[in-house]
Structure 1
């Protein structure tokens, strides 16, 4: 099998036993059994028959191996066996050292209490980590909000300055137009006509 065999001792034993079972299963059908089914062909063409038998046996072993590997990967057998081996090894080590912690199994100890003794400290540690991470995220969001607020206020200020400048220019235009309307147009036209006549005479 091509599955990685590096792992715990429990996984190594299981993997080796599975390999041996596959080999025995694939080659349980011997050439003698094959020859009994195709006796005439095996007598007339023994070399070809032997080659075909070898191909069939190898193909059968490859097929079984492939299917087993897919099952091992689908159910994560290696990691589960490694975890089981680690738990059993740790339990044996605690037993040898006369460990008397709160999570040691006793007849009067409920499974819920044993699980809590293990998981509650881990959950509290994870809670502290998440609180720190949440605080960091909030700080980053606050800084980003302040930056956006400052940018928005700056844009509003610039908009107000542009509006004020536009209003000032419009006032100047209105004043110029009002002065233009108050000019004595008849006198201007008369002066323009006289100037034109004087210019034509000089020419």
Structure 2
């Protein structure tokens, strides 16, 4: 809300503005009071920042992420000391981080694709096992027989006795 020359300022704004004008004079006249106000505001802001950071760390799972990073870095140091340099995920100065990340992701995608392929093959084997059991003893397809049944009539046959039973049992 802006103040213009045609409107008058509220009492609250006038008091605030007057106090603001006098603040520098008060600070020079009472340095201990100014220091106390500064310390109180600093403590309050510090606790606000700490609380906000803790909330953010909790929401973003920062502790878990840093712990995982620590494990990865520790394992990398161990591999480096042991002289293992033939791994694809070893860091080198010329390696762009995005390329390293893409390598790791592509490796995971290949593993996931292989797992999906195995699952699909297993599902197909199970379907092949189930196909003969779908046929009844005379060679008729069970689904075809079921789909030819009068479903609406069956629903009525079950609904009418149930309604009749409810009508006779009502006191």
TM-score, normalised by the number of residues in structure 1:
0.36
Greater length-normalized contact order (CA 8 Å, ≥ 6 residues apart): 1
Question: Which of these two proteins has the greater Rg computed from alpha carbons?
Answer: 1
The structure whose residues are more often helix, as a share, is: 1
TM-score, normalised by the number of residues in structure 2:
0.42
